[in-house]
Amino acid sequence: MEKCVPMAAGKNEDLKYEVSNNNNRINVHIADDIAFSILSKLPIKSLKRFGCVRKSWSLLFENPYFMNMLRNHFLYNNNRHCSDYGGDTFLFLYEPLRPHYYRASFYLLSNDKFEDRIKLDLPPPFDGEDIAMYILSSVSVNGIFCLGKDTRRGIVNSFQAALWNPATAEVMGIPPSPDESVPPYRDPFFIFHGFGYDNVRDDYKLIRYITFFQVVDEEEDVPYEDRSYDPLLQIYSLRSNSWRILDVNIPDGYDISMIDFEKPVGVYMDGVCHWWGTTDFGNGEGYLVSFDLRNEVFFTTPTPVELDMDLSRDPISIEWPDAIDRRLVVLNESIALISNRFKATTFHISILVELGVKESWIKLFIVGPIPSLDWPIAVGKKGGICFRQTNDELVWIDLSTQIIDEIGVKGERYCYQMGIYKESLLCIGGIND
Amino acid sequence: MAQEASSSTSSKTISLKTGDGEIFEIEASAAKQMKTVQRLIDDLGDDITIPLHNVFSKELPKIIEYYKKDITGEITKDFEAEFVKDLNDDEVKVLFLAANYLDANKLFEFLSQNIADRLESKSVEYVRKYFGVENDFTPEEESKLREERAWSFRGIKEDE
């Protein structure tokens, strides 16, 4: 029979318990508030499982005292990983050359301030003026970026990409995909793309998902029954330096082409590319779509209704009362969503504990209300979030203190990408088989 | 063996007496890191043997070893790994509770993390026993919760 010995709670009180002999000390009860010091350091998945230990533990995520400890530990862990990893913040933005005329610029910020920037020259053809380019998956993987550029010639949208190592200035153009040079009866409308690393094959891959519009062309002689308007999923492998078409196999019958990917640039983490898409712009309902580069499988994770319950207390926009804006980011090695009611300046940050599991979205942080904020951009080196303000300035918000720190740069609303870059001397050409 | 430390010429070491009657010496700067000890020193003076009723001779030397390293700034990841390497889960628990009693924050935080790492994949029943808590769910409530949180049990081989 266990000898349960009452123990006064709290580190700062004198303990008032009697212990009859040393042997029974291992059965001593650990009071909840010191138990929290242990529980708050567990992975969230284990915490959810241990909710079955006793009733008070099943309510941990509703306990503000505990959640505070959990948040502190989450941020502490994040800061530790960031210092261990090193690297600099990279900032990609469109700077105005003259009214309505922009040029893409790429900087490294050594201590998160624009005044301490190093400008890196983008390699051709990405250094032109007034072109639409972006960094696939807003990421640098092992020191390599994948730069992408879209050009429209008439009705045809053509895509060009290259792998770039800024430290060695090596650039390797990615050959065009033969399947995209399409017969005239269809116009490609591209949905999303991603870049990342397959550690199983030591290969760098690009993925593109394209749907098609029918183009009316009386001179077209391909019979209707032989035409295909099916969406196309293509993968490029650096090792084979070629594209390949994959069968689009979405579990549970989700129709990816019905998802509106407002931002075709997703995020990448640990071998998996992710994108956020809405199925209903009016109420922000949507899915996280994920593609594992290693086993080449898609899966989706919807958000539960409960995720947005707190948002109902924020001020709403008259035109779109239920609309919710969302930004997908990677925060402390977790997929996270930053959500806000359309036009409101309170931002709710939730992380996904288990991919594919709708119930595993956990609300962690709230930023604001901070009236000057407009739109979140990315997560920074120290776990702070970069926001754009309504006056166009970019700022850092510290998640634990909510203190605003100006970065010292302005720019266009949707044209920023930011992430962490760590130099490497990896030779891109050397990976080709 | 109860023994009053004689008025020491050096105020730099403090005598601590465990619940089972043994005496250990600790440097005053290390004693400062244990707020309970410091409070007792403030109340009783530093030339008296400080009684620690709820800490015993099995764990106090280990705690002293930790803070000896701390005051020379030598606590590294390697040292911490070595420190807990040969301790089983129950021994770490006893140390953890002692660190709590002594209000020794750095050690307390370190041991909390170590215990969390040890418990991560353990079964629900193991964790109950470890924390000395009762299961206050009815069988129906528990099975309903397990079903709701089934995803958190997936891929876990709950070991003892």
Could you tell me how many residues make up chain A? 433
pLDDT in tens, A303-353: 876 676 666 666 666 666 667 788 899 998 899 999 888 778 889 999 999
**Contact residues, chain B, for A15 at CB < 8 Å:** 54, 101
Q: Which residues of A touch B156 (CB under 8 A)?
A: 49
Global ipTM? 0.90
Closest to B59 measured CA to CA, from B31, B33, B24: B24
The two structure tokens encoding residue A298 = 């898609």
- Is B69:B83 a contact under the CB 8 Å cutoff? no
Tokens found for residue A417:
């990408």
Closest CA relative to residue A160, chosen from A187, A127, A197: A127
Helix B89-102 with B35-44: angle, nearest 10 deg: 40
- Nearest C-alpha in A relative to B35: A12
Q: Which residues of B fall within a CB distance of 8 Å from A28?
A: 97, 132
Q: What is the pLDDT of residue B36?
A: 93
Residue from A14, A39, A47, A50 to probe the interface with B (highest B Cβ count within 10 Å):
A50
Mutate to test the interface with A, among B144, B151, B154, B157 (most CBs of A within 10 A): B151
Q: Do residues A194 and A291 make contact, with C-beta atoms less than 8 angstroms apart?
A: yes
- Cβ-Cβ contacts under 8 Å between A and B: the total is 99
Whole-prediction pTM: 0.85
Distance CA A128, CA B155 (A): 50
Distance from CA of B13 to the nearest CA of A (A): 23
C-beta separation of B158 from B124 below 8 A: yes
Quote the tokens at residue B111. 């041991």
Q: Compare CB distances from A41 to B112, B130, B142 and report the shortest one's residue.
A: B112
Q: Do the beta carbons of residue A301 and residue A251 sit within 8 Å?
A: no
pLDDT at B1: 44
In chain B, residues with a C-beta closer than 8 Å to the C-beta of A2 are: 132
Alpha-carbon distance A134 to nearest alpha carbon in chain B (angstroms)? 36
Mean pLDDT value across residues B31-50:
90
Q: A342 by DSSP, 3-state: which?
A: coil
Query: Is there a contact between A53 and B131 if contact means CB atoms under 8 Å apart?
Result: yes
> Is the CA virtual torsion A399, A403, A404, A406 positive or negative?
negative
Name every chain B residue with its beta carbon within 8 A of the beta carbon of A29.
131-133
What the block records as the tokens of B50 is: 């400080």
The residue behind tokens 């053809």 is A125
Beta strands across the sheet bearing A156-165 = A132-135, A145-153, A156-165, A170-174
Residue of A nearest to B20 (CA): A22
Between CA A59 and CA A43 the distance in angstroms is 16
pLDDT in tens, B117-139: 999 999 999 999 999 999 999 99
Mutate to test the interface with A, among B34, B93, B133 (most CBs of A within 10 A): B133
Q: Which residues of B fall within a CB distance of 8 Å from A58?
A: 145
Q: Which residues contact B119 (CB under 8 A, 6 or more apart)?
A: A38, A42, A46, B89, B126, B127, B130
pLDDT of residue A282: 61
**Average pLDDT in chain B:** 89
Contact B119 A11 (CB under 8 A): no
- Chain centroid to CA A335: 6
Per residue in B73-111, pLDDT (tens digit) is 888 999 999 999 999 999 999 999 999 999 999 999 999
> A139 and A115 in contact (C-beta within 8 Å)?
no
Q: Enumerate residue ranges in chain A where pLDDT < 50.
A: 1-23
